[in-house]
A = this chain, B = another copy of it.
């Protein structure tokens, strides 16, 4: 099947802004996007499944299963200066390089149908130390576009500090040009240990985002939300490690014992 999007509703949106927050370092993008979805009571309208996710389902407390997926939500702009939003969240990114491209193209093809022309992708920037006040580093799709975003407290020195943006946050921005989309990637500085979701980095990114989107969210709930997510994220990561360990065990032949058997190979 490769990668397929299943649509449950076709919302009518006006010049929607696309926001992406998928799992990654410090889960900064994911926490931030999920918080916006929850606080704006955004509505789910499509799901993306992919053969480039791990080949298992998660078991939930209710004994029901959960397939790994990405989810599209929308929220209508209500106040002055607020725009319609399409928000992408999810519990996995591709497990191989080729899938990253495939999934990014599927997403871009899909959101193009809603007339998306601008995007904000969210992620973390591992800096190897814990910072009291993490900065938010910006990377733009087109040279000179940093000027457009200069009034939101974003630091534009990514070129000096960072070499690459790995995965969806980078590819959506980079490949978006082909689909006539421009935008920015917001990277919250985080220590860089992938195990732990970093609410402080997410908070920094959220503050910038609230200004950009002209919305007010109750930041007090963030810690609470992060705790809720933490259990789930920890479970996925643990299971991913176990599953990969299991796969390797199954595939790698035990050496030594077999050594003395008679050779019987045909080719």
Contacts and interface: CB of A to CB of B under 8 A. Distances in A.
A253 B102 CA distance: 25
Interface string A221-259: 000000000000001001101111111101111110010
Nearest to A125: B266
A128 interface: yes
Contacts of A171: 55-57, 67
Interface residues of A, number: 98
Given A25-B267, A264-B162, A266-B169, A102 B51 contact: yes
Contact of A97 (B55, B123, B162): B55
A163 B235 contact: yes
A6 interface: yes
Interface string A159-199: 11111111101110111011000000101000010100000
Interface of A: 1, 6, 23-25, 29, 49-67, 94-102, 105, 123-128, 138-146, 156-167, 169-171, 173-175, 177-178, 185, 187, 192, 194, 235, 238-239, 241-248, 250-255, 258, 262-267
